């Protein structure tokens, strides 16, 4: 690896962390405004939806940008991972909408199933790439 | 562009799925069962004479702006003002429990089937009606109406009001008894919203009790029994400058003050509606800005 590679990776990770931070802020703001008009019906799903992009996106990529990772996550692992976080975040907000209205819908479970599956798929693909990359070199 | 292909395709799929979830929850109508109309009821039940009885009774009824009396059904509406809220209490005395009824929007059991309380009431020739438990917004909870069982999946921790064929009330926990058992025991109607407000004359809600996480002042609907065949329907306004609304505890206190033995909370908020002699007599509102009814999935009413 070259120093320039590390700099590039740092910048990429920092950029991704920033995007996730903005998404978290948007979710927090959306939740706050939605709760404002919900006749004081509160939903943990709506209030804490921002936690998914924050904990699942901003923090890991911040860590990657601050540490010298051996290998930056490849596009497949990133796509899977981002898709997982997206599904979990959207699912959480939709659960909040239903919760505040006072209703339920069984099919929201697919947000959680797909979200968790894609999240772990992304993580696994990344670690596999580390392991296989080691074996090659 | 190729770099973002995954993101674009996935974004489209996620958006489409989300739209479907919202449509399925709030819009798409599904009829699971239609309620048999009068024409489909067995000939031997002589519906014709029941209709005639209703007409005769209504023709001889003494009706004022806030009362109705035809010998079988006696209703008195009283307006109260408590907790900065307009409250409408209908005191009902009937000679038979058969005049305490329920009805579905569009006479059909299903999902996203709604009509205004006044429309359902008119379609069923109700003399007095209030909105019901809005079963349509829930996936679980017992639905038993007019002696017919439509849904028997229990919801954990759910308190229901059971109205028996003899007109008596009982508040039960869905997890402790099956809907079928209740039907076998003589239940005629089951309402599944709650919580129970008054049991054996005592207030049964704590000051922190929640209905869907709303422990604040809102329009409310409640039903209670004072003694045999003597009922109380109560609707309060709310969410406006004129009427703040009631907490569940305040609602329970009000019901208790009017002498109910058992009282039960029904769907509130924008659903709270009282219909009497062809008119909506409260001020239903969803957001406090405009006074208008909200579509509901079912009503409880007094009629023939």
Residues of B in contact with A86 (CB under 8 A): 10-11, 14
Question: Where does chain B have alpha helices with state H?
Answer: 5-26, 47-59, 117-123, 179-184, 248-257
Interface list for chain A against chain B, based on CB atoms closer than 8 Å: 37, 39-43, 79, 82-83, 86-87, 90, 94, 97-108, 110
Q: pTM of the predicted model, to two decimals?
A: 0.88
- Which residue is closest to A83 within chain B, CA to CA? B10
Among candidates B6, B14, B25 on the partner chain, residue whose Cβ is nearest the Cβ of A105: B25
Q: B122: buried, middle or exposed (CB in 10 Å: 19+, 13-18, 0-12)?
A: middle
Contact A94 B214 (CB under 8 A): no
- Per-residue pLDDT at A133 exceeds 80: no
Per 3-state DSSP, what percentage of chain B is helix, strand, and coil (rounded to 5)?
A: 25, 35, 35
Q: Are strands B187-191 and B159-164 parallel, antiparallel or unpaired?
A: antiparallel
Q: What is the tens place of the pLDDT at every residue in B222-246? A: 999 999 999 999 999 999 999 999 9
pLDDT at B206: 76
A97 three-class SS: helix
Among candidates A90, A102, A106 on the partner chain, residue whose Cβ is nearest the Cβ of B137: A102
Give the integer Cα–Cα distance in Å for B152 and B141: 7
For chain B of 304 residues, list the mean pLDDT of each consecutive stretch of 10. 88 98 96 74 45 67 94 97 97 97 97 97 97 95 96 93 98 96 97 95 80 72 98 96 93 96 96 97 93 96 96
- Per-residue pLDDT at A42 exceeds 90: no
């Amino acid at each position: 690896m070259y120093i320039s590679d590390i700099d590039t990776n740092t910048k990429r990770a920092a950029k991704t962390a920033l995007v996730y931070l903005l998404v978290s802020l948007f979710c927090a703001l959306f939740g706050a405004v939605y709760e404002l008009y919900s006749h004081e019906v509160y939903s943990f799903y709506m209030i804490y939806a921002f936690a998914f992009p924050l904990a699942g996106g901003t923090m890991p990529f911040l860590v990657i940008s601050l540490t010298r990772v051996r290998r930056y996550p490849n596009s497949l692992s990133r796509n899977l991972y981002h898709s997982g976080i997206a599904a979990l975040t959207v699912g959480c907000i939709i659960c909040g909408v239903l919760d505040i209205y006072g209703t339920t819908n069984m099919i929201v479970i697919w947000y959680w199933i797909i979200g968790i599956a894609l999240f772990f798929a992304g993580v696994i693909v990344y670690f596999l790439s580390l392991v296989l990359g080691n074996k090659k070199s | 562009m190729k770099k973002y292909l995954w993101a674009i395709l996935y974004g489209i799929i996620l958006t489409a799925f989300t739209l479907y979830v919202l449509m399925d929850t709030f819009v798409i109508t599904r009829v699971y069962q239609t309620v048999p109309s009068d024409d489909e009821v067995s000939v031997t039940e002589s519906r014709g004479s029941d209709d005639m009885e209703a007409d005769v009774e209504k023709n001889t009824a003494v009706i004022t702006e806030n009362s109705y009396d035809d010998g079988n059904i006696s209703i008195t509406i009283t307006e109260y003002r408590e907790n900065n809220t307009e409250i409408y209490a209908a005191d009902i005395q009937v000679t038979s429990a058969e005049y305490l009824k329920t009805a579905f929007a569009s006479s059909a059991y299903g999902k996203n089937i709604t009509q205004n309380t006044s429309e359902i009431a008119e379609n069923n020739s109700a003399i007095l009606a209030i909105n019901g438990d809005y079963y349509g917004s829930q996936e679980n909870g017992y639905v038993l109406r007019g002696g017919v069982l439509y849904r028997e999946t229990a919801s954990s921790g759910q308190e229901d009001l059971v109205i028996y064929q003899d007109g008596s009330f009982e508040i039960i926990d869905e997890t402790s008894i099956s809907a079928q058992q209740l039907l076998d025991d003589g239940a005629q109607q089951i309402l599944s919203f709650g919580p129970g407000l008054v049991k054996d004359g005592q207030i049964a809600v704590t000051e922190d009790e929640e209905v869907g996480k709303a422990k604040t002042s809102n329009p409310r609907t409640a039903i209670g029994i004072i003694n045999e065949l003597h009922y109380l329907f109560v609707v309060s306004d709310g969410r406006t400058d004129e009427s703040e609304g009631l907490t569940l505890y305040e609602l329970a206190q009000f019901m208790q003050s009017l002498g109910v033995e058992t009282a039960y909370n029904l769907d509130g908020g924008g659903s709270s509606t009282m219909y009497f002699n062809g008119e909506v007599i409260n001020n239903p509102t969803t957001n406090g800005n405009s006074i208008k009814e909200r579509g509901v999935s079912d009503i409880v009413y007094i009629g023939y």
